[in-house]
Every structure is written in structure tokens, then in C-alpha cells.
Structure 1
Amino acid sequence: MKTIPKTLTALALLAGACAAQAETVQVAVAANFTAPMKVIAEAFAQDTGHKAEAAYGSTGKFYAQITNGAPFQVFLAADDTTPAKLEDEGMTRPGTRFTYATGTLVLWSADPALIKDGARVLGRNQFRKLAIANPKTAPYGTAAVEVMKALQVDQMLAPKLVQGENIAQTYQFVSTGNAELGFVALSQAFKDGQITGGSAWVVPAEMHEPIRQDAVILKTGEGNAAANAFMDYLKSDKVKAIIRSFGYEI
């Protein structure tokens, strides 16, 4: 019988110990952050051994679910007010909230010829449907309403609005042609440093309140090693680079 070298035995024991200590964190993620989160979750598992399982949806609906006992342990919102509200209500781990990204709003169409001169396409009003996320539950929808009011086209365009439950559904309306154009997150139409496909107008940041997106560990995540590791990982230079690659500011 061959003798197993002590070094291999030690490595095997270490690997077993790491595997035993690895945990899973349940993360509620704003729909606009779907694409970067998938990349981040994969890198997180490779780099730490922990696992981040994500659910995607609107920030407002996640707030309702969390306050009604949903077992999420970390919340990546599309705004900064909802995590702050949860913090005030004692539903978060104190001192863990921070802004992980600042979102950019874009008016986008799958038609490469539709948006030729920025916001003027809205004033011409030569389209059937304009998609926005539900402003009651989705911060990107709130920002879209602010932009239309600033351009003084909100009343004119009101009959043409179709609302997505969240920004992911809003993007789907536009990408499938059910709406000729819509206000979506830049990250949804952004890849490798540029907007890919269709036509777009990147909305100037001063036309709406900043879309600061905050993350926070929830009370249910206290004591979860994966939750703590994930929040630290979000602050790493590696993750910041991933987030920027999808069109977000840090």
C-alpha cells in the first residue's frame, strides 16, 4: 500500500475545511443590475468558495417582500431610499449600507434609425408606445417621469405609456418591439464600453435625481459568513471594474 505524502494530506484537509465553511447568501437584486450580478456571482464563487443566489425584481416589491419576512440576507436596491427606510425600521444590520453603483438612464430603441437627435424624438411624438418602469416601485421609472416633466412632454405622452413591472420587463417591451422605444438602464444596452444595437440617447444626469443604488445586509443575514464576504467583495477593485464595464459609475 502506497503512503500518501503528508503535504497532500494537509491540502486535502484544508480543502475540506474550506468547503465546510463555505456558505450561501440569498441576495435580492434590482432588475437593472441583473447582468453585472451574474458576472459578480460567478467570480464571487470562484474567489471565495461562497455562493450568492440572486433573485431579480423591482426594488419596491422587494421592500414589500422583505418586510413580510422573505428570507433574503442581502439587498442590492436600485435606489438609496429603500435600504435607508429598512435601516430606519430596524430590518438591517447597522453600519453595512453603502452605495455600490450609480445608475444611468437611457432612452433606447431596437430600431437603429429611430433616435437620431436625442430627446427630440419624444417631442415629435411619431411612435405608438413608450415603455417605462413602474415609477411607484422602480427608481428608473421615477427618473423617467422626471425627465419627461423636465422636457414638458409628460402630458402629451401619457396616453402612449406602457409600464413594465420592473426595468427588466421594460427592456423586454422595447427589445421585442412591443414599444418602439423606452427608458431603460444603460447597463441593459451597454457592452464592452459602448451601446450595442438599436439607437439611444443617454439622459444627462442633471435631468433627474441621482440613481444611487445602495446595498445592505439585512437582519436575516447577521452571522452569515457569505453575506459578510459578499459585501466585502462588492467593494473590491475587481468588482468595481465589472460594475463600470456595464455603464455604471462608482
Structure 2
Amino acid sequence: MSPTELPLVCLPFAGSGAGFYRAWNVAPPGLKVVPLQLPGREELFLEDPFTDASEAAAALAPRILELVGREAPFALFGHSLGAVLAYELARELGGRSGLRHLFVSGSPGPGSGRERRATGLDDEEFLARVGEFAGYRHAAFDDPDLRDLLLPLLRADVAMHEDYVPASDTPLPLPVTSLRGAEDGLVSRTQAEEWRSTTGASFDYRELPGSHMYLVDSPEVLLATVAQVLSDGGAAPADPDRGGSPCS
């Protein structure tokens, strides 16, 4: 990794893995996409998936430091479930790392639970509800063998997301940017702007073309937006006079 490239560590959304981000080869100069793999998928398929976001953050934090270096600057990005995982990771890493910015995508603020749940529904109802949430249904779930293979992981991820309770409401001492597809029917602008209360530093809200899963079709637009935010000074450390406190 070039010393001039800022790593953007990317957390997967429910049911996905690092392979989704490994396919992104459109990062602008100065930005390096660093996918973070979670257990239960792809090369870690035989490992049990996480069931609690705070426990996941505690387990994943050392892995991030291995990937980017203990003192090296980097940013975090997560979409939907990945957003709350990235948020908990920001808390877990605290001042022990070079974390400079948190990007959360397609997610209401961490204190807002989802009114309609998929957890507990039978397989077909579960997949229909998840498809409603995401705005699309992956073709793999139309293959009976693949569906049986993938459903346990998706159920675990969805339950972890729907049961999520933030570990703390103390504002983070670093900038936070909330991203959302302009036509997202699952997360409203008001909900996406709830992330403002999570930081004692600067907050930025950006809308990008598309629906809830806008990043599937337009990763280059997303990465260009991230790079612009960072180049505009969004990666600056928090001003201690703004009320941010050390992460717990």
C-alpha cells in the first residue's frame, strides 16, 4: 500500500462479505479500499458468524490494526449493518489507532430500531421482507441449494442488526459523514441525519443517486464522494473544544 493512499476499511452489509468490496477497482488517487472480512462467509465460511455488534467490534479491531498499521491514518465505511459495525469499531478503536473519519451509509442513527422486522419469519417471508428492506433479491436465493447454504448467515446478520443496541451514546471525537441514496425508501433523510448526534466533531450528510443499495450500481460515485469529503478536510481530528470525548 502506497504511503500516499489513505485506507478506507469497508464493512459488509447483511449477508455479504469482503468479496463485494474486493471487486471495487475504481478508487480515485489517494484512496485505497481495504475490505474487512467477517466470519461465516467466503474464506471464513466455516467460522461462526457474529451475533452481537459490540462483540464483533472487539474481535475485529485488532484485525483492522493488522491491515492498516497501528499508527497509520485510515477511515471506516459501512453500509446498513456495516454502518453500525463501523460505528462500534470507531468506539472500540478509540485513541489506539489512526482512525480519522467514519462514513456510515444507508442507515438510521444507531439509537433507532427498525419498526418492521424480518427475524422470526419463515424462510419465504424472511427473504421477502429482507428483499423489501434492501430493494432487491439476490439471485442466489432462488437456487434451493444456495439458499440453504446462505440463509443461516443472512439470518444471523439480520438478527444482529435488528437486535442492535449501541454500547454508548457518548459522541465520537472524529468527523462522521452519513451517506444515503436519494431514492432510498427504507432510510429517510431525517433518519440518515440522526448520525449528527454521534459526533462531537464535524458532521456531513451526502445524498447520492440511487435507492437503498445505490453502492451496488455506482461504487465509483461513492468513492469519489468519500475522497472529496476527505480532501475537503473531513479527515481532520476533532476539536477538543467541541465537546468530543475519548472513545470507550
* Shorter-chain TM-score range: 0.3 to 0.5
TM-score, normalised via structure 1 length: 0.32
Rg comparison, structure with higher value:
1
Identify the structure with the greater strand proportion: 1
TM-score, normalised via structure 2 length: 0.33
